[in-house]
Structure 1
Amino acid sequence: MTHKDQDIHVLDFPGATALRNAGRTESPDPKVLERTRALVLQAIAADTDHAVPTASAAAVVVTSRFGRRRLLACAAAVAAVATGFAVLPVVGVGSEPAATVSAADLFNSLADRAASGGRGQAPYWKTTVRTWVEGDRTHTDTYYLSRDALVIKTQNGRTVTKKAPPGGTSWRVGTRQVSWGNLDKLPTRPDALRRILSAGAKGASAAEQTVRQSGELLTGSPASPRLRAALYRVLADTPGAEVTPGVKDGAGRTGARISWKWSDNVAHSPHDPNWIVRPSDGQILETMSTRAGDASHITERTTYLYAGPADKVR
């Protein structure tokens, strides 16, 4: 076989041809599913330089970029056949073929991390945000959101206080506004939560609305760990996501980039949403928009340097 004849398909490991031609299989043993999931999560962790604990005690000892890429390809391929997850293409390393990763498995992993996190109760939800919009300069501000006001500490040293509208601070969820005190009353069963988030929209518009509102709750609200986990599980079953591991955010931190592309079907949305998430703890590091049809053209970027509870304005 010459280099011209080599198979450059994404599944480039021995036996890949047979795997591709295998088609559907019977449901595997639960132990196989668990091992498959562990391999995928370990591969994601290796590629993002973060350790992601799993139910399996097996350790990944491969340290080279080639080894990590191949592990990722093998693990995701096995997951595709064994579990029926949608395996989506991601960017390769250098001139090597692209690997693959399951968007559903990544979101479920983020849900596990979010569920185990402790948020606690505090009077403020604090975010320190680095913002850039095409045509403008980057600036970093800190926001202290409470039940009845928003206090902004600007980069130039100013403090701005904005009172909440009548009814207090609230978030758009589906077709209604949900107040700070009622966030904990939202359902945490993914199917029930999805119905509320997508209310009033259909098709691609329902998927986009679900993603955008979930992102606002995950980054800008004091949602409980149970609600945060439920939001990620809703996203695991929302179509349109593509995953690219090993991407840097605006602050130089490494995570997995999740992209959605519905703009061809959603007339009012000229931009596609993108997130960079950290698989090790389920945090959204950054949200950004790209021009529809041109994923390399970033039009705005919001980098979350901190997002969490705060006892007081400092």
Structure 2
Amino acid sequence: MNPELIFAADADSFGSGRRSLALQCRAGQLVRLRAGIYIDVEVWRQLRAWEKERVRIQAASQQVPGQRVLVQQSAAVIWGLPVIDSPPEVLLLASPSSHGRRRGGLHWTERKLLEPLDVVEGMSLTSRAQTALDMAVYLAFEHSVPAMDSVLRPHLVHGRPATNKDELEKLARNLPDMAKQTRARRVIDFADPRSESPGESYSRAVLHRHGFPVPELQYEFLTSMGRFRTDFYWKDQRVVGEFDGAVKYGANGSVLPPSWDTLMQEKRREDAIRATGVAFVRWSWRDIRMPAQHPESLVHRLIQAGLSPTRRQR
């Protein structure tokens, strides 16, 4: 359910007036999303970071007159596709007269429509498949892989089926030029629906860029404590990799420490997998984003565990 937005235009209509909203905002009772659009501060505090981004885009979509078709990362947020580092601007499909225009946190950008537009929760946007393809064309490789992995799986919330690679490649052939088609195909070829989280997808893409060998995904170990799946396994080197995505958030978006029981269960699981004779490397978002030369970076830690790049970095 979308949180209620408070519009200054409605305040004028019902007599409370814009000044009242501005005073409530200064008093810390409301949060200003855009000029003339507010949300209750307690409602805002209950939202997680990605939910706040969704509300920010929703506010812009409702305020813009005329054509307001969401594209690329902005469309991805509404679809629930993973977005790494959301842009500060809301991205909208440009008409011929508004190509490249920027105003008030909005950016109209030209895109060739590959499929009919969709409507999600009253917002017009590019199709789920086109959104992922546009990200593949215009974003860095590792930033586009999580979304492409995601469209290869069914969308349970909106009841949309998975898109297969043949369908994506067929759409990609309609991109405006060969360079864009090549960029899209590279991401499509690499995409894998077995990556179960944005962190796993992003990790896989970063490892690929650094030239590491291809891991087996969701490999199952039979241990003394039972069967456990792992995110990454390099069988020849006997190295297990795990992206630590089990982060819990409080109502205000703050990171909460895991419970003692959770820590102990995970330690027992990790010890059981290690007892099979493999090296075990666990990493977080912080580790992935460190420079490769840093002693705590993902790249450095994998090399220490016995895994070496097999080709030159791309």
| TM beyond 0.5 | no
Taking structure 2 as the reference length, the TM-score comes to 0.22
Taking structure 1 as the reference length, the TM-score comes to 0.22
Q: Give the greater-gyration-radius structure (CA).
A: 2
Higher share of residues assigned helix: 2
- Of structures 1 and 2, the one with the larger relative CO (CA 8 A, separation 6+) is 1
